């Protein structure tokens, strides 16, 4: 995007954007909030991370987690195997937040998601970001890595993890039981259309 494009989106002057880029000025809090909302970046990242280093850092890469790697995903050995995993770069998925691509297994999310499909995901930092009926990868000690839709109570303490395939009953989990949540952004499939 050009500085003009960003200035137009944020309702600012082009020279203001230029001064942000050259570190001659810092955005006001309300501008930071607006930048975060428009570009889907947490304010925490804008304030605490050196974004140039972050983009070149392993954390910003999209690790590809095949079914065989999921068994060790929650163990300390996963970090040792981290270097052996492939990274998936997708030109249309350019968020600054942490990314993962998981291979899914089973038929619980048919007809939309099939066995061996891949889901390209973005880390959910807070349970306030979880929206009913959206699809997520949930990671927990008891369930491992599972793909489900979700319904939550108004206090966001209890979550019903729902399968699209009606032969599977909902799974009820408390927020404390869930280690990681990944919002599904894209699906990669081998299905013939």
- Note whether residue 66 is domain-resident: yes
Q: How far is CA 67 from the centre of its chain?
A: 18
Position 81 scores a pLDDT of 55
- Note whether residue 167 is domain-resident: yes
* Structure confidence by residue, pLDDT tens digits, 141-157: 999 999 999 998 878 78
Q: Which pair of structure tokens corresponds to residue 63?
A: 């690790």
Q: Which pair of structure tokens corresponds to residue 13?
A: 């002057």
The helix (run of H) or strand (run of E) holding residue 173 is strand 171-174
Q: Are 99 and 60 in contact (CB under 8 A)?
A: yes
* Structure confidence by residue, pLDDT tens digits, 35-61: 887 776 778 777 776 655 555 554 557
Position 76 scores a pLDDT of 65
- Note whether residue 70 is domain-resident: yes
Q: Which CATH number do you get for residue 13?
A: 1.10.260.40
Residue 144's DSSP bridge partners are: 140
Residue 146 class from Cβ within 10 Å (0-12 exposed, 13-18 middle, 19+ buried)?
A: buried
Position 51 scores a pLDDT of 56
Q: Reply yes or no on whether the pLDDT at 79 is more than 70.
A: no
| Across 60-64, 79-83, 87-91, 169-173, least confident range | 79-83
88 and 134: one domain?
Answer: yes
Name the pLDDT band for 191 (thresholds 50, 70, 90). Answer: confident
118 and 148: one domain?
Answer: yes
Position 184 scores a pLDDT of 97
120 and 30: one domain?
Answer: no
Position 50 scores a pLDDT of 60
| Residue-number span of the structural domain to which 12 is assigned | 3-56
The larger pLDDT score, comparing residue 89 to residue 110, is at 110
70 and 8: one domain?
Answer: no
Position 6 scores a pLDDT of 82
Q: Are 171 and 120 in contact (CB under 8 A)?
A: no
Share of the chain above pLDDT 90, in %: 39
45 and 79: one domain?
Answer: no
Other Cβ atoms closer than 10 A to 164: 16
């Amino acid at each position: 995007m050009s500085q003009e494009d960003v200035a137009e989106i944020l309702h600012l002057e082009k020279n203001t954007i230029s001064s942000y880029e050259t570190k001659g000025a810092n955005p006001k809090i309300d501008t930071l909030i607006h930048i975060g909302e428009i570009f889907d970046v947490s304010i925490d990242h804008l304030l605490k991370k050196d974004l140039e280093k972050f983009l070149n850092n392993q954390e910003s890469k999209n690790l590809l987690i095949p079914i065989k790697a999921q068994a060790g995903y929650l163990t300390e050995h996963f970090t040792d195997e981290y270097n052996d995993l492939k990274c998936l770069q997708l030109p249309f998925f350019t968020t600054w937040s942490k990314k993962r691509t998981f291979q899914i297994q089973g038929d619980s999310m048919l007809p939309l998601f099939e066995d061996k499909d891949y889901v390209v995901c973005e880390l959910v930092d807070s349970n306030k970001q979880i929206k009913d009926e959206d699809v997520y990868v949930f990671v927990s000690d008891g369930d491992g890595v599972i793909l489900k839709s979700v319904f939550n109570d108004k206090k966001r303490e209890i979550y019903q993890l729902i399968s699209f395939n009606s032969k599977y009953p909902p799974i009820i989990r408390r927020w404390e039981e869930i280690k990681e949540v990944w919002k599904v952004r894209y699906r990669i499939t081998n299905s013939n259309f």
